[in-house]
Amino acid sequence: MRAAVIVFPGSNCDRDMAVALRAAGADVQMVWHKDAALPDKLDLVAIPGGFSFGDYLRCGAIAAQSPICKAVVGHVERGGYALGVCNGFQVLTETGLLPGALMRNAGLKFICKAVGLTVATSDSAFTEGYNAGDVLQFPVAHHDGNYTTDPETLARLQGEDRVAFTYESALNGSLADIAGVLSENRRVLGMMPHPERAVDMGHGGTDGQALFRGLLGQLTQA
Amino acid sequence: MKARVHVMLKNGVLDPQGAAVQHALGSLGFDGVEGVRQGKVIELDLADGTSEATIGEMCEKLLANTVIESYKIEVL
């Protein structure tokens, strides 16, 4: 599987993401935000966590207008896979590739801790390594993870089984405790918790490995 | 020419920052603050003749996230 990790000024989980993907067996290239094109024959684009462009205007808003994001939109429109974690999820909602928006946490505090995360569906390349209902331990580290959308979109996400993960207990005010959502074709996942920070026992747990291995399994067959 | 864009969370979208400001005003002894909504003001220096429609496009594409925010354009 060929993967690219996008690097914005202010990204800070880009190298963790590359390490997690490489550990699962992916061929990973780092791509700078000013590049206008992605590497050829790419299977997956990963948009990492961090504080792209200092979170100016809104989290992810400036990054979503960068040259590389036009290429990311093209990649997804051609049926390519994309994973956005934390700030990457915010960028994906700002580009319109995923519905909804991420607002300031309801408690106004930055939340940095390991949380219980319930797998809401195993029907995607990202979650097929889990069973629906599994509870995982993933770190979260965000100030703006309060997922919101209009009632019609929420009903559609739930009806189409596109909620990928929910928080085991209320965390940040997210609608229906949503922690991650899938695109209509199930090839784009955005999530606030950090799977790439849960792939090494030295960091407290390895519940994230199955996400990267599952992705590798699915995309290498394809 | 100058224009001022006001960006606010849409009505019905819970504004936790506004609620915190309201609470702080209450603890300063200001009674009767029944609601606070916090938004942004963005001032634009524009080439003369820039149409309001163009400014609207700027709002739709970047300045506001219309999933959660509404905007108002004031040409000065």
Query: Is A221's pLDDT higher than 70?
Result: no
Select which of A13, A59, A86, A94 is catalytic.
A86
Distance CA A204, CA A197 (A): 9
Q: Which two tokens stand for residue A113?
A: 């801790």
Write down the pLDDT at residue A219.
Answer: 87
Chain A positions in Cβ-Cβ contact with residue B62 (cut-off 8 Å): 57, 61, 65
Say if the Cβ atoms of B16 and A57 lie within 8 Å.
no
The phi, psi pair for A217, rounded to 5°, reads -60, -45
Query: In the annotation, is A194 catalytic?
Result: yes
Angle at the Cα of A9 (from B9 to A193), degrees rounded to 5? 60
Residue among A65, A99, A100 minimizing CB distance to B62: A65
ipTM of predicted assembly, 2 dp = 0.85
pLDDT confidence tier of residue B12, bands split at 50, 70 and 90: confident
Average pLDDT over residues B2-6: 97
Report percent pLDDT > 70 for chain A.
Answer: 99
CA distance B3 to B46: 7
| Record: contact B17-A149, CB cut-off 8 A | no
What is the percent of chain B with per-residue pLDDT over 90, rounded to a whole number? 91
pLDDT value of position B36: 95
CATH number of the domain that residue A76 is part of: 3.40.50.880
SS3 state at B16: helix
A196 is catalytic: yes
What are the pLDDT digits (tens) for A98-119? Answer: 999 999 999 999 999 999 999 9
Beta bridge partners of A155: none
Q: Tell if the CB–CB gap between B67 and A149 is shorter than 8 Å.
A: yes
Residue A222 is predicted with a pLDDT of: 53
pLDDT band at A220 (very low <50, low <70, confident <90, very high): confident
Return the DSSP state at A200: B
Give yes or no for a contact between A180 and A172, defined as CB atoms under 8 angstroms apart: no
Per the structure, the complete domain to which residue A185 belongs is given by 2-221
- A38-54 average pLDDT score: 96
C-alpha angle B17/B20/B23, rounded to 5°?
155
| Cα(A57)–Cα(A148) distance, integer angstroms | 18
Which residue in A65, A103, A107 is closest to B68 by CB distance?
A103
Per-residue pLDDT, A107: 92
In the predicted structure, residue A211 carries a pLDDT above the cut 90: yes
Overall size of chain B counted in residues = 76
Topology of the domain covering B2-75: Mth169; Chain: A , (3.30.1280)
pLDDT in tens, A131-186: 999 999 999 999 999 999 999 999 999 999 999 999 999 999 999 999 999 999 99
The Cα–Cα gap between B17 and A60 comes to 19
- pLDDT 10s digits, A179-199: 999 999 999 999 999 999 999
pTM above 0.90, yes or no: yes
Q: Is B24 on the interface with A (CB under 8 A)?
A: no
